[in-house]
Structure 1
Amino acid sequence: MSLWLRSVPRLRAPFLPASAPRLALGDRRVLREEPNQRICLLRRTLSSGDVKWLWPIDRESLSFHLVHKHGTRMGLYLMTLNSVNLLKTEDVERALFHLQRKNPALRVDLRLRGNVWWFCEQDGNTHKVDFKRLNEGTSSTEEIQRMCEKGFPDGATWKFRMIPRGKEAPRDMPEVKDFPYQYNIIMTSHHAVSDGLSASLMAKQMVELLNDVILGRHINDEATSQFVQREELWEIESRIIKKLEDDPQRHDYVKQTMPLSTPLLLQAFPRPSVDEVTTRHLSRIIDGDVTQKFEKQCKSHGVTIHSAFSAVINTAIVSLMQKSGISQQSYQIAGNHIVSMLRYLKRTPRDAMGGYAVLRSHISRLTNDQANHFWEYAQELNGDLREGLTSELPLEQKMARLGAQPDLGRSGPRSHPRLCTTTGSPTSVASRCPNDV
């Protein structure tokens, strides 16, 4: 029996600007459960029974842990598997067992040691992945919402859910007609141990291992990734902090690249007055032929899929503004683009898993004429985004943003909804979180 993996779109819950409990910029000490108390980072590994204490979590990891408690900044994958025969629950569990053995981050959770949060690694032979097979007909959208609302209260950092769709369920892709049994797989991971890139690699490897289990192949449990401290990143961030402190003009420029104004959509459609702000998930399936034509056009114009899709979003926002009666000569549209900080690291192993995502804020000014010449605008946007990557601007924005943020430990996460759109193809995944949504 073989499996067919459909393109994997990533769904996200409300996205907040990066924030963290207040520490001096560049300070890598960790916070106790009480945000005002601090201890020095202990550079040693301790063992206790079947748990290996790794190291106290840093400021950024703690900020993720705090907002996850409120069900936000959760990253989720929803993918559909098609198979020739019924999938056995024990086969899926076996594949996840090997996935966990090959990737230490899947054995990592967060625990209080005294009153300090630590990363710890559980024994790979005894620790089970949080996996549940749900009843056929369970709504994937509602299950995603439940997983977001629950967060990670029990210290577990990875969760997997499988929902049988039934043999008669409609197929979204004609090429899977010989794979009649369909299953929705939902995967979520704690952002302190996994970012979108790490999660996409785990989704791909999970399917490969499931095929190996079904076909009775020998599986080598040799590690395919590492979970390490982010010391090199901290060094770079400390250097950038000093750079911004020594160069006020550069600091001012970096702040100008980040949006401060009211989002366009809120000008046309004011925020509703409700007691509790929530964000729901919307998913759309793009036809395979349309996707291939879009990719071909991107290549012919020298534009990345990410830049082109960002241009699509921006022009759509302009069209929506015009339909709502807001007519201007030009529109200022701000968006956050997710970048992997691994591109800036030299000593960190390429197979490192963890929270290496950072937001690259970008402000685009789109005129009515540009909106009518899409590919010219997409090329301009593509150039702007590339230039920002090569100049370490995403990291500069991150440190400037952290310096201006309140103490998250005291104030709690802000209820400001964000919509994160993701495009996925069999070979690429790109994400963009518009500030204007």
Structure 2
Amino acid sequence: MPDFDGKWLREASKAEKIFEECHKKGTVLVAYHVNLSTTVPLQEDQVKLALTHLYRKVPCLRVCFGEREGTLWFREATNKNVDFKVLPETEVNEVMACLKSYQYNSDTGPLWCARLVADTSSGQCEQTTSMVDNTSTGHSGQASPHIPDDNLVSLPHSYHLFLGFHHGIIDGFSAIKICGFTATLLNDVITGKPINDDQLGEFVSCKETMELVLAKKALIKGDPLLMKKWTDEANLRKDKELFFSRIYQKPEGTEENCLALERQLDTTTTRKFLNKCRAERVTVHSAFTALADAALVELLAEKGVVQDTYNIYNYHAVSTRRYWKGDVSKSLGCHVSIIRMYTDTPRNINEIFWDFARSVHQELQSKLTSGTALEEEAFDLLKSELKDTLKFVADSPTSFVSPDYYTTNMGDVTALVTEEDNVRVTCIMRSVSNRNTMCTCSHIFHTFRGRFLHLLDYNTRFMSTEIAENFCNKIFDNLSKVIE
């Protein structure tokens, strides 16, 4: 297996540097909650051995940071020990909160950790006929229950596996792949199957993305109209007031926190939602964005912010791998950018919902196809806005304007987590902390094993639990209505 020799690998990218700054402030950290069902009770040494193999076989997990000639670089981790603990079931609802503010050792690694909690209550969970609605108002979010499944009779033992990551080493694609690797390696350990030294993927730099960004930069620089377009949009952001700031002011003296609310649709409701989206010729992402806009409009009107049209500002995470050439299935690391959108949302949106959803779909698809996210990065380079971007983690940034909400959608991730004979992943929920940032809230969603799973990470600087619950309730109430 590869040695942990601390050798220098490459300079960190702009995004990776930003995520390390965020990590220092205990924010923008990634936490995954994986429900496992197994044929036999798990032993601590089995799980630790599987995670040790994971550490050795996944290159992006085997890195740390170091400063080289005044610049932040990646190097091989020198700490060979897996950061793993088995915790009592009484602590299950606190783990996500811990991982979302965890301090990793950036100088030695590892920049990830794992926690295991046995689940003795899974047999008591009952599925509703239309929608599983797990709403949490706690700091960490209540642990996701196992959903009953007739195919799991032969896997009677249930566990919560929590994986925490420094965002600088992974994005959603990499983390989901790691969840799948973990299940496979755990299955191999249980069966006694020999595990080789082959690497599971590659820790890829952003070189290919930067080549595309630099080409966009030259394009903008040589086109005065295109430069004016991006300059005007940047100026527009400076004048944008957050809608959530208009309906909520955090009480003085209260601690700022990142809380979470969770929703899970059952298979029947998920299937109806997916089929309706296909029939209306929109993606699930576009439909959900339209539902979030509709819910925000309703919420604002109830709070006295009444307008004919609401200009809603949102960010959509996008993997830059989509713009690369060749096979990207083994390309691990952090390769994420954003698409910014301003959506003029009418007060009567619910009366024209699918027409509105189609307009959102058309704009999103146009931006995805044209590589708008790359153009935005190119414009940032032209304006030398790295220092302004780093103000994202400051207490009171003046030049960074947050959107009304973020979205991060992985689509159907079932195929990325293979089924094993002795280990079955039954649910995956993901979360990213946003405390001590100017982020209002993030809609994090994907489909897994036929169920649509959603988590709202919300920053108590901008949203109370009451508003967050109301926001989510409206989204899913409207979802039930528009799929009938």
Flag whether TM exceeds 0.5 (same fold): yes
Superposed, which structure 2 residues align to 1:286-305 within 5 Å? 286-305=265-284
State the secondary structure of the residue aligned to 1:424: strand
Residue 158 of structure 1 pairs with residue 134 of structure 2: no
> How far, CA to CA, are the matches of 1:431 and 1:235 in structure 2?
34
State the partner residue of 1:420.
Answer: 442
State the partner residue of 2:387.
Answer: 407
State the secondary structure of the residue aligned to 2:368: helix
State the secondary structure of the residue aligned to 2:41: coil
8 A Cα contact 1:169 1:182, kept in partner:
no
State the partner residue of 1:174.
Answer: 148
1:122 Cα deviation from its structure 2 partner: 4.0
State the secondary structure of the residue aligned to 2:441: coil
1:352 Cα deviation from its structure 2 partner: 1.3
> How far, CA to CA, are the matches of 1:270 and 1:344 in structure 2?
41
1:112 Cα deviation from its structure 2 partner: 4.0
> How far, CA to CA, are the matches of 1:87 and 1:94 in structure 2?
12
> How far, CA to CA, are the matches of 2:10 and 2:329 in structure 1?
21
Aligned AA (1:174)? P
Length-normalised TM-score, structure 2: 0.72
State the partner residue of 1:21.
Answer: none
Query: Structure 1 210/329 Cα, relative in aligned 2: closer, same or farther at 3 Å?
Result: same
> How far, CA to CA, are the matches of 1:232 and 1:386 in structure 2?
22
Query: Structure 1 151/376 Cα, relative in aligned 2: closer, same or farther at 3 Å?
Result: farther
1:411 Cα deviation from its structure 2 partner: 5.6
Superposed, which structure 2 residues align to 1:324-363 within 5 Å? 324-346=303-325, 349-363=328-342
Superposed, which structure 2 residues align to 1:206-225 within 5 Å? 206-225=182-201
State the secondary structure of the residue aligned to 2:393: coil
Query: Structure 1 366/85 Cα, relative in aligned 2: closer, same or farther at 3 Å?
Result: same
> How far, CA to CA, are the matches of 2:187 and 2:3 in structure 1?
36
Query: Structure 1 304/162 Cα, relative in aligned 2: closer, same or farther at 3 Å?
Result: same
Deviations 1:260-297 (A, max 9, x none): 41122222223544475322222233323222221121
State the partner residue of 1:367.
Answer: 346
Deviations 1:67-108 (A, max 9, x none): 111111112211211234321122222222232333211111
Aligned AA (1:133)? V
Deviations 1:149-181 (A, max 9, x none): 233244422111112222566334121663443
Pairing partner for 2:260 from 266, 275, 281 = 281
Pairing partner for 2:15 from 48, 60, 63 = 60
> How far, CA to CA, are the matches of 2:456 and 2:372 in structure 1?
17
Could you list the structure 1 runs, at least 4 aligned residues long, displaced by more than 6 angstroms after superposition: 427-437
> How far, CA to CA, are the matches of 1:236 and 1:430 in structure 2?
32
Query: Structure 1 406/233 Cα, relative in aligned 2: closer, same or farther at 3 Å?
Result: closer
State the secondary structure of the residue aligned to 2:281: coil
Structure 1 unaligned spans of 5+: 1-46
1:313 Cα deviation from its structure 2 partner: 1.0
8 A Cα contact 1:342 1:350, kept in partner:
no
> How far, CA to CA, are the matches of 1:168 and 1:350 in structure 2?
34
State the partner residue of 1:19.
Answer: none
> How far, CA to CA, are the matches of 2:258 and 2:87 in structure 1?
24
Query: Structure 1 248/254 Cα, relative in aligned 2: closer, same or farther at 3 Å?
Result: same
Residue 251 of structure 1 pairs with residue 227 of structure 2: yes
8 A Cα contact 1:279 1:418, kept in partner:
no
8 A Cα contact 1:56 1:117, kept in partner:
yes
State the secondary structure of the residue aligned to 2:202: coil
Aligned AA (1:55)? R
CA RMSD of aligned residues (A): 3.1
Pairing partner for 1:133 from 67, 86, 90 = 86
State the partner residue of 1:73.
Answer: 28
Shifted more, 208-217 versus 183-192: the winner is: 208-217
> How far, CA to CA, are the matches of 1:263 and 1:186 in structure 2?
33
State the secondary structure of the residue aligned to 1:333: strand
State the secondary structure of the residue aligned to 1:318: helix
> How far, CA to CA, are the matches of 1:426 and 1:311 in structure 2?
22
State the secondary structure of the residue aligned to 1:188: strand
Deviations 1:153-210 (A, max 9, x none): 4442211111222256633412166344322121122222211111011112211222
State the partner residue of 2:138.
Answer: none
Pairing partner for 1:103 from 49, 52, 58 = 58
Query: Structure 1 170/68 Cα, relative in aligned 2: closer, same or farther at 3 Å?
Result: farther
State the partner residue of 1:38.
Answer: none
> How far, CA to CA, are the matches of 1:167 and 1:269 in structure 2?
37
Taking only the aligned residue pairs, the percentage that are identical comes to 27
8 A Cα contact 2:205 2:333, kept in partner:
no
8 A Cα contact 1:109 1:121, kept in partner:
yes
Structure 2 unaligned spans of 5+: 126-144, 395-436, 464-484
> How far, CA to CA, are the matches of 1:271 and 1:362 in structure 2?
27
> How far, CA to CA, are the matches of 2:122 and 2:9 in structure 1?
48
State the secondary structure of the residue aligned to 1:281: strand
Residue 199 of structure 1 pairs with residue 172 of structure 2: no
8 A Cα contact 2:59 2:202, kept in partner:
yes
> How far, CA to CA, are the matches of 2:284 and 2:365 in structure 1?
13
Aligned AA (2:64)? D
State the secondary structure of the residue aligned to 1:327: coil
Aligned AA (1:157)? L
Count of aligned positions:
388
1:360 Cα deviation from its structure 2 partner: 0.7
Aligned AA (1:59)? K
Aligned AA (1:268)? I
State the secondary structure of the residue aligned to 1:326: coil
8 A Cα contact 1:160 1:188, kept in partner:
yes
Deviations 1:104-135 (A, max 9, x none): 11111223457653311247xx8233222112
Pairing partner for 2:218 from 242, 266, 269 = 242
8 A Cα contact 1:81 1:183, kept in partner:
yes
Query: Structure 1 404/53 Cα, relative in aligned 2: closer, same or farther at 3 Å?
Result: closer
Aligned AA (1:149)? S
